[in-house]
Chains A and B, each alone.
Chain A
């Protein structure tokens, strides 16, 4: 049976560590003597988020690289966390996905235990500690960097949080992009962002930013018309998280191409 001390614990990671320690990667076992890291790991590339009048859009391309090769063309980097939040991850794929999965389980675990959702700030803070967990990995150059976005039901607006490798959490009021093509995407978002954008304008800006990232950065994948692979776009509003369908995304890219051509 449960000890009374254990009863109030709502941190899933701590429970997992005490019950099944082997399920949690202990990167601290890596030390400076292990200088030769394996080369065959996948890296996710560009993810971004943009605030608009009804909420926030969070998006990512679908490619992962393995050195100079395409490692995976259909990878998903954007994950729904709860009814009003989602995370997008860039960096070393394995730990990235582990971070996203743990984060999702944690937020849901909290909600079930308490009967109410973990606040958006609470989620953003918890993610800090998950990012910090990968610190020794980051010291080796293997970085996991998420963008976290959600609709704040109390403040009635979309919010974006970015992180650094040490777990630092910073809020962005407008837009943010990260990953190998992050800088290119940010330049585009900077030019296209307007306060109080409509959803249509926001989607147009996001698609153009993803296009520019793919255009300038060799690691970022653009829309793949032959295989019908399109970037993931997720809109989060007061009504909840909803994925923008491939048909709509394809249409936005068509518009973009005719505008550019």
Chain B
């Protein structure tokens, strides 16, 4: 039997990061913004049935980017576990932080395994109405399961940093839903202008969902193309 080559943990970890960054670098972005009644999620996504934004539970939604098949599994895991937990205890006991830890553990386990490729995805767990002290909570989870708490807005995807910089200047608190949607679409437009082959931002090419604390128990809502068009036209 031949002796395996020694590879330092630093090197292994560095390789995995480079590999994932290359995948995420090409991924379209999702922006999540807090508005006066909840959280708005907007993604560059021309597909009509394959989503980046999805409902997990009453007050919780998932925004994801990267490989669809990989985040799809986590979406399903999240819904299953949330329903089981909510059925066992009470619906309000299902929280965003709990779901974030669940995802984090799954992703960390895969990232640390030596014989599997890490997941090429980034996630935002979005929650409204969970804690009376905050209007919303957003958790950003990286491929290796590390996560951080975001305030007011968050971005995932290839150009997340550039978009975050823009939003740092333009985002204000207490936006109306229509204003928040307009801000998100303008932010995407301004980032696309800098591209050699810009992606057209139209109601058909963005996916929009929200968690609105005024909707009663199920707070998630997905906007149709017509609804998006109406809001964006009305706003401009």
Contact = CB atoms under 8 A, between A and B. Distances in A.
Interface of A: 1-2, 7, 12, 15-16, 19-20, 23, 101-102, 105, 108-109, 112-113, 115
B79 A2 contact: no
7 contacts: A1-B77, A2-B73, A7-B76, A12-B87, A19-B84, A101-B87, A112-B79
A16 B84 contact: yes
B84 A2 contact: no
6 shortest A-B CB distances, which residue pairs?
A112-B79, A19-B84, A109-B83, A2-B73, A112-B55, A2-B77
Nearest to B56: A112
A101 B54 CA distance: 23
B79 A20 contact: no
B76 A23 contact: no
Interface of B: 49, 51, 54-56, 73, 76-77, 79-80, 83-84, 86-88, 106, 109-110, 218
A1 B81 CA distance: 12
Contacts of A12: 83, 87
Contacts, number: 40
Contacts of A23: 84, 87-88
A115 B51 contact: yes
Contacts of A20: 84, 88
A1 B110 CA distance: 9
B73 A7 contact: yes
A94 to B, nearest CB: 16
A20 B88 CA distance: 8
The SS class assigned to the B binding surface is helix
A37 B109 CA distance: 50
Nearest to B73: A2
B73 A1 contact: yes
B73 A15 contact: no
A31 to B, nearest CB: 27
Interface centre among A2, A15, A101, A112 (most CB of B within 10 A): A112
A7 B109 CA distance: 19
A105 B49 contact: no
Nearest to A7: B76
A105 B56 CA distance: 13
B83 to A, nearest CB: 5
A101 B83 CA distance: 12
Nearest to B58: A108
A15 B106 contact: no
Given A1-B73, A1-B110, A112-B56, A15 B88 contact: no
